[in-house]
Chains A and B, each alone.
Chain A
């Protein structure tokens, strides 16, 4: 299983190491650095790197490489999934998972890693169990601890560890009992030059924030569960009930969690919320290029499109861009050649556009391909697939909780080829 873990920052320094079995020299990371150097982008580093005696499995998140050292056969996804779980936990504990946060909280990090793995095998990865074992650091607690000498570490075995519902601790109490659910859908799409859809699909999640006293047993049903083609659940969801009736029945974890992620069946036509009119041209032999894009709402069911951000990786030959936009602000990084235009909200009456000229490297040949345009946007109060929550019921407890459902649609990997 997992032998050691090294945290490496993007400049190639190891800033944290932890060993669960005998110590592995950090020189093993040299193989990783080699691969890092070879890759042009940090994303291009291969997740699995063999070395003569070990295997290095790494994930890259928040500009940190989490490099696990493995000595023998193990499902690579097992390690990758665990490393991501570690990152999620750090994020949960410290708010951000950055090099600075890890360095500042090195003791908590160590305590966490110690609980999460025993001899390289995952022990407690459920966030509520961890939080009972090791309390997340807050400024107040740090101060109190320094004065009173009390600790961050729990003395009792978390109840969840042993119960049939390991994700929930007993004796939860709230004065305001609330259960909020967010249905968030993302559209992944590729739009081709002419504006027609090459591929488009909707993926969604139902995130929940449940603060309920006691041991509530919730059921959540949808108006149109048939839309959901493929689903994955939080372990709390009773699978058989879903199979039989398409109803989500569960004892929720305490706090925030992802109840469900789903994929909308591919038979359904996907409404594309925005369109882009573009005219980007490079002329052979000329040092100037023409750039113009206009973005507008398409099928949004009458809702406003907000938070629009357009990014595009320009060809290497582009030296600089001289543009004007009718709305928002744009930046062009001449080093990474990344154009990014923060549009904000789209006003359907006056469509935002960005146009101007590009100065090209003289003598460089015309790029083969126009840059693809990536779009991010948000539409509030709309689930694009039409998924609707029918009702939420609670059993097992007597009080009446506040309930709330929010819908949102976002652009996921939304690309326009030009």
Chain B
């Protein structure tokens, strides 16, 4: 026992010395007075502890309790109270609950040491395990599993198995906790325990979920197969699990997802590839080529489910939960979605300093890879003088990572304040940070250097030394234009007293003496004068300088060098004498000098590699964020590696859950009526063909992504019918039961269809090329049945909040992968819209009665107090459900025409061999929906290899953004390469100015878009066109009468001219003389409608309707020009 030393240590020590023998004796001796009990209340140390035993054996509960309280006090202080074990154990069956609990505390603490006596208590626990009170059952199991006595392993095993099937979820939770206790006691039980875990994983109670996942993580984290069937359930329960369980489940699911889903990050790469192909190929080719080549990445609905269900947890008050979600998004979400977590992480910085520390560490790692995420929050990382040092350095690290050309000036200004900080360790770290900024951002290198040079006159040694070291490094990395600074530093040599700094300056002058030929000898002269008074380190560097100068400029410095060498020869310090001897032998040629002196120049003036200034957090990303290992930057014991994404998607069907019709009775009677009604409506709606079967199946079987996917070949339809015939029957069964099962069945057949779908697009596309008309017809038919089914589906799904909201949530996703499905969407749009209204009506009608089905509330809780008084509040919860948008559905189509014309970005003469041309491929941009994609063709027309071509500093007007192309490592002479970048022009024709950089040069270039390129073509019916046009009159309308060039008077020619000039979609028109075009602006998605009406005498009226009047008038000017010209 370690004794304590605090204010009343005297009495404690007394006790420590005396108590042990005394209590030992007390075990045998007769009980002493029990009068101490009363006093013990007020001061536990008043009496020696030998009366405790007597008190424990007294008949009064109160004195027993008092004794136990004192014993607990002893335990808390870390004193040994094990001698009392037999006396304490007797009280394990006490009726007094507090006494019992305290005995439990004691037992758990000492049972391991006194195993034999501990066994006495076991029967009590076994009896308590059968108690009708769940609290007592649970606490008996808790203690039984906590006393680490190997003999009772079988009893524990039995108790756990029994408790795992207990009716009370609280007891089941305790059982889950007991699993790992037993496992750590006896790892041989693993197999049995896994069985119990498997059983408990199926548990639907939110109370159990967290605990069993913890047991899983401790016992069998590699048995990922146990999770499959429970994956969806866990995702859905997640929000309602207690916060600690959430953390564990999220971490476990992160690992799971990395083994089960395809990487969403490949998406970018694939798309990029595609657009390149499209650029080279002609229109027809593109269709054939790109379609088979692309296997469009579709996120697994289960993957999406996880991301969607964890997102609300970012709002948790528990910082650990927020961090867990953040790391999940970092490791699993598509790159474009990761930034969702930024705000929440920054919010955590307001929390306690320990939380700040961990969060900042993680941000530091993230900010290396993704600057953009945290850049808007730069100011949140400013350092306060009251921050602890480790927080300051972390903030500094992040600021350095975030610094770029745009914000460097503010960052540097901030750094200037830090440099003056009284915390010298922090000031030194700041200087290093400035050094890193200087190397990373070439524009400010000189400013930083100058700033650092100023710091050399600082009084603090650490600051000066640090600055000199950093300057030295900087000069080494930029060995071209620094003679000025060296000169400056040479001048400073007179004032600077810090030896380390003087030495560094001398080294610099020596290293680059050829660049300062006039100054270097002079410095040497000065140093020679003061040589004897210098510190050793300075003397050594003086010798170095002398040697280097002798080799390069012997004429001027020969005598000086000899003088210095002579001084060094008799220096009191042996290091210096040694060095002098060595240098003399090396550089001064004499008969005795060996072969080495020939190489003196090579030895002394060898080019030294520049030191690399990089973030200390660079290699931390090998660890999963948020883990202990990440914090320590070493692998902690028990760390589970995050696996890489699988190359091939593992089977998705493993997560399907068989329908278990267990909870039928839990559905409200109203629900049954409803479903019956729905069936009616459904059948009547489906009309002639037997598609009703397939319709119903698609209705219940689609979980997400179904809207675009229920693609509509006749052939496919048939196939779907047959293939999912079996599932349709099961799902219609289940749809009449409660929500839970119908959802699971939905997802089941949903994923089946996914599998089917994979093969489909190819076929479909071929077909659409072949006979457009037939396709169109069938599509219409298909979409009709489809929308029918949608309506019935929404009825059904609205009976359940979470499932339907998940559907609406998944819509954007389907939009995004519509690349190949555009055609059919075009035709689908209209019927869909009409149906939507209907659907809406139906849902609103039913909402009120739906309220009491809470989202996946644990069904085992009949007494849920919430359901009784559900307020209007939930109505609105449900409003988000509406399956489809009520607003006009505008679909972006593929461009009608892609002009091959490219514009010059950089001429080869001004680009020193690098020529660049850009071109608008008129494809939706892959980087962001707000961006216009631009393809840049870079050609090396010079005769030297160009290296590291990338985008440098951007000078963008506000609102504009550029997504860089990936930098090109090298470009051989004569070769050319096409890269794609995205520019968010913010719906204006402002030019985007940026620098195109090669390794050695920077060229200012600018891209100015024609107004026609700021649009994306859309499709709509003529009727829609008119209604929209009707809304955009007055200010938003501009008309012009133009005289059309004779060769443009034909309809075809006009269409061609217009779509060449602007990225517009053609709207079918009934009249031959009127041509309509529609598009939306890329950023704001405002409609732009263009009408050209041919009049006689080769005049035409040009009518443009758009909210963006500027765009409208510019477009008008442009179109006027192309139409009037020949």
A binds B: yes
Check if A357 is an interface residue, CB within 8 A of chain B: no
Closest residue of chain A to B239 (Cβ to Cβ) is: A239
User: In the complex, which residues 341-385 of chain B have their Cβ closer than 8 Å to any Cβ of chain A?
Assistant: 343-344, 346-347, 350, 352-355, 357-359, 376-377, 379-380, 382, 384-385
Contacts of A170 in B (CB 8 A): 865
CB–CB B320/A78 < 8 A: yes
Q: List residues of chain A with CB within 8 A of the CB of B640.
A: 73
Known: A13-B4, A110-B76, A111-B101. A149 touches B414 (CB 8 A): no
State whether B637 touches A72 (Cβ < 8 A).
Answer: yes
Contacts of B636 in A (CB 8 A): 50, 55, 72-73
What's the Cα separation between A15 and B2 when bound, in Å? Answer: 12
Is the CB of A46 closer than 8 A to any CB of chain B? yes
- Contact status B135-A231, CB under 8 Å: no
- Report which A residues bind B (CB closer than 8 A): 1, 9, 11, 13-19, 21-23, 26-27, 41, 43-44, 46-48, 50, 55, 58-61, 70-78, 80-82, 84, 106-107, 109-111, 114, 118-119, 121-123, 125, 146, 149, 151-157, 161-166, 170, 188, 190, 192, 198-199, 201, 203, 215, 217, 219, 229-235, 238-241, 243-245, 247, 249, 251, 258, 261, 263, 266, 313, 315-316, 365, 367-369, 372, 374, 395-397, 413, 415, 417
Judge whether A77 and B244 touch: CB under 8 Å. no
Measured between alpha carbons, how far is A230 from B170 in the docked complex, in Å?
Answer: 35
Among the 9-residue stretches B537-545, B622-630, B644-652, B901-909, the one with 4 or more Cβ atoms under 8 Å from chain A is B622-630
What are 12 of the A-B contact pairs (CB < 8 Å)? A14-B78, A15-B6, A84-B352, A118-B142, A118-B174, A149-B61, A153-B98, A238-B874, A313-B385, A369-B420, A415-B385, A417-B417
B879 sits at the interface (CB 8 A): yes
Which one of A107, A161, A315, A369 lies within 8 Å of B73 (CB-CB)?
A107
- With contacts A80-B355, A164-B861 taken as known, whether A73 is within 8 angstroms of B637 at the C-beta atoms is yes
Instruction: Specify which of B76, B384, B422, B870 is in contact with A16 (CB 8 Å cutoff).
Output: B76
Tell me the chain B residues, 598-636 only, with Cβ under 8 Å from chain A: 626-629, 631-632, 634, 636
Binary A-proximity of B107-140 (CB < 8 A = 1, otherwise 0)? 0010010000000000000000000011100100
Q: Which of A44, A110, A121, A243 contacts B105 (CB 8 A)?
A: A110
Q: How distant is the Cα of A231 from the Cα of B344 in the complex, in angstroms?
A: 8
Q: Which residues of B contact A235 (CB under 8 A)?
A: 243, 316-317
Known: A47-B354, A75-B627. A396 touches B871 (CB 8 A): yes
Q: Which residue of B lies closest to A164 (CB)?
A: B864
A47 touches B637 (CB 8 A): no
The A contact surface, by secondary structure, is mixed
Q: Which one of B62, B76, B319 lies within 8 Å of A109 (CB-CB)? A: B76
B386 touching A146 by the CB < 8 A rule? no
Closest beta carbon of chain B to A140's beta carbon, Å? 15
In addition to A26-B2, A372-B385, 19 A-B residue pairs with Cβ atoms within 8 Å of each other are A21-B184, A77-B358, A80-B320, A151-B99, A157-B134, A162-B169, A163-B863, A165-B865, A219-B873, A229-B343, A230-B346, A243-B880, A244-B876, A369-B420, A369-B421, A372-B384, A374-B386, A415-B386, A417-B417
CB proximity of B573 to chain A, nearest CB, Å = 30
Contacts of A231 on B, CB cut-off 8 Å?
Answer: 315
Residue of B nearest to A121 (CB): B214
Chain A: minimal CB distance from B945 (Å):
46
B871 touches A395 (CB 8 A): yes
CB contacts (< 8 Å) of A161 on chain B: these are 170, 207
Q: Is the CB of B347 within 8 A of A230?
A: yes
Least distance between B425 CB and chain A CB atoms (Å)? 10
Check A119 against B180 for contact (C-beta < 8 Å).
yes
Contacts of A374 in B (CB 8 A): 386
Query: Taking each of B5, B180, B317, which has the highest tally of chain A beta carbons within 10 Å of its own beta carbon?
Result: B317
In the complex, the answer to whether A77 meets B177 with C-beta atoms within 8 Å is no
B861 touches A163 (CB 8 A): yes
Give the distance to chain B from A57, nearest Cβ to Cβ, in Å.
8
Partner of A365, one of B459, B858, B863: B459
Considering the complex, give the chain B residue whose CB is closest to the CB of A315: B422
Which B residues touch A241, using CB under 8 A?
A: 873-874, 876-877
Q: Name the one of A43, A110, A166, A266 contacting B388, with C-beta atoms under 8 angstroms.
A: A43
CB distance from A5 to the nearest CB of B (A): 11
Given A149-B65, A415-B384, decide whether A81 and B631 contact each other with a Cβ distance below 8 A.
no
A32 to B605, CA, bound (A): 49
Residues in A whose Cβ lies below 8 Å from that of B376 = 266
Q: Is the CB of A77 within 8 A of B626?
A: yes
Please report B residues at the A interface, Cβ cutoff 8 Å.
Answer: 2, 4-6, 41, 60-62, 65, 69, 72-73, 75-78, 96-99, 101-102, 104-105, 109, 112, 133-135, 138, 142, 145-146, 148, 168-170, 174, 177, 180-181, 184, 207, 211, 214, 239-240, 242-244, 247, 251, 312, 315-320, 322-324, 343-344, 346-347, 350, 352-355, 357-359, 376-377, 379-380, 382, 384-386, 388-390, 414, 417, 420-422, 458-460, 626-629, 631-632, 634, 636-640, 805, 854, 857-858, 861, 863-866, 868-874, 876-877, 879-880
Q: Is B869's CB under 8 angstroms from A215's CB?
A: yes
Report A119 CB to chain B, min CB distance, Å.
Answer: 5
Neighbouring B residues of A165 by C-beta, 8 Å: 865-866
- Closest chain-B Cβ to A35's Cβ sits at a distance in Å of 11
Residues of chain A within 8 A (CB-CB) of B872 are: 395
Closest CB pairs A-B (n = 8): A72-B638, A151-B98, A396-B869, A395-B871, A157-B135, A369-B420, A199-B379, A249-B873
**A251 vs B355: C-alpha distance in the bound complex, in angstroms?**
29
- Decide if B109 touches A41 in the complex (CB within 8 Å): no
A27/B135 in contact, CB under 8 A:
no
Residues of B close to A107: CB separation below 8 A: 69, 72-73, 102
The answer for the CA separation of A379 and B877 in the assembled complex, in Å, is 37
User: What residues of B have a CB within 8 angstroms of the CB of A70 in the complex?
Assistant: 628
CB proximity of A261 to chain B, nearest CB, Å: 7
In Å, the complex CA distance between A261 and B315 comes to 10
Smallest beta-carbon distance B98→chain A, Å: 3
Question: How far, in whole Å, are A22 and B146 apart by their CA atoms in the complex?
Answer: 9
CA distance A261 to B65 in the complex (A): 43
Nearest-neighbour CB distance to chain A for B209, whole angstroms, equals 13
Decide: A232 and B355 in contact? CB cutoff 8 A.
no
Q: Which residue of A lies closest to B178 (CB)?
A: A119
- B142 engages A47 (CB within 8 Å): no
> Which residues on the B side are within 8 Å of A27 (C-beta)?
2
Q: State which of A16, A58, A80, A166 has its C-beta within 8 Å of the C-beta of B77.
A: A16
CB-based contact A44/B388 at 8 Å:
yes
CA gap between A208 and B1007 in the complex, in Å? 55
- Inter-chain CA distance A62–B892, complex, in Å, is 60
CB distance from B353 to the nearest CB of A (A): 6
| A44 & B390 in contact (Cβ 8 Å cutoff) | yes
Q: Which residues of A contact B385 (CB under 8 A)?
A: 313, 372, 415, 417
Given contacts A16-B77, A155-B97, A368-B460, contact A76 B358 (CB under 8 A): yes
Residues A368 and B458 in contact, CB atoms below 8 Å apart: yes
In the assembled complex, which residues on chain B have CB atoms less than 8 Å from the CB atom of A240? Answer: 312, 805, 877, 880
Min distance, Cβ A262 to any Cβ of chain B, angstroms? 9
The docked-state distance in angstroms from the alpha carbon of A165 to that of B41 is 39
In the complex, which residues of chain A have a beta carbon less than 8 angstroms from the beta carbon of B69? 107
User: What is the CA–CA distance of A17 and B78 in the complex, to the nearest angstrom?
Assistant: 6
B382 touches A198 (CB 8 A): yes
Complex alpha-carbon distance, A164 and B859, angstroms: 10
Q: A333 to chain B: closest CB distance in Å?
A: 16
Q: In whole angstroms, how far apart are the Cα atoms of A190 and B872 in the complex?
A: 45
Q: Decide if A18 touches B386 in the complex (CB within 8 Å).
A: no
With both chains docked as a complex, state the minimum distance between the C-beta of B478 and any C-beta of chain A, in angstroms. Answer: 28
Q: Are A47 and B873 in contact (CB under 8 A)?
A: no
Chain A residues, CB < 8 A from B414 = 198
Min CB distance B706 to A, Å, is 22
Once A46-B390, A121-B211 are accepted as A-B contacts, the answer to whether A258 and B871 lie under 8 Å apart by CB is: no
From B76, B105, B357, B422, give the contact of A369 (CB < 8 A).
B422
Task: Give the nearest-CB partner of B625 in chain A.
Answer: A75
The chain B residue sitting closest to A337, CB to CB, is: B422
User: Which residues in B have their C-beta under 8 angstroms from that of A238?
Assistant: 873-874, 877
**Closest chain A residue to B184, Cβ basis:** A21
